[in-house]
Amino acid sequence: MTTYPFALFDTWYAEARQTEPNDSNAMTLATVGADGQPSARIVLLKGHGPDGFVFYTNRESRKAQELGEGSKVALLFHWKSLRRQIRIEGTVTFASDAESDAYFATRSRDSQLGAWASDQSRPLDARETFEARYEAMRARFESGDVPRPPHWGGYRVTPARIEFWQDREHRLHERRLFTRAGDGWTEGLLYP
């Protein structure tokens, strides 16, 4: 499989990591619910390559309900400092338990405890309830490592389309579109 769009992504991403002041790995994740209602939110890219783009979340959250295996989604990177964006459309698969465990182990202890304490996306009666749950998790795991909760893990977006958008003067932008074709990719341009 040709990796050309991924090599270009690597180049742009490396530049964004140098110039974007905050969260160069932030990407908008767009999903669609069973009722046809679209929903978008920011998630953080935690891995990428020719096999896809990986992020992690609570698998009982609203987004997870919309991220069933094989679901179609869209990702959007916007790097204002570079005046660039990358749009990705594809399908979702679950990251393996081993991948999810490995990434979870790299998170700060407080983030690990928060993953146990949060019923992400569900109603919360008061902030104090969440803080009490967090403290209960801190007490529960005070003497050892914090394991990955069974309801938390990774997702991989395997792209079918990747568009690289570069701002140009007078709105004469450059748009390069890569479309998956079998084991390879076709490349074309789009009018701005």
As annotated, the active-site residues are 171
SS3 state of residue 15? helix
How far apart CA 128 and CA 108 sit, in angstroms, is 22
Letter for the amino acid at 164?
F
Q: Cα(167)–Cα(185) distance, rounded to whole angstroms? A: 24
74: left (phi over 0), alpha (psi -120 to 50) or beta: beta
What distance lies between CA 63 and its chain's CA centroid?
11
Length of the chain: 192
| Beta carbons of 37 and 54 less than 8 angstroms apart | no
Strand, helix or coil for residue 57: strand
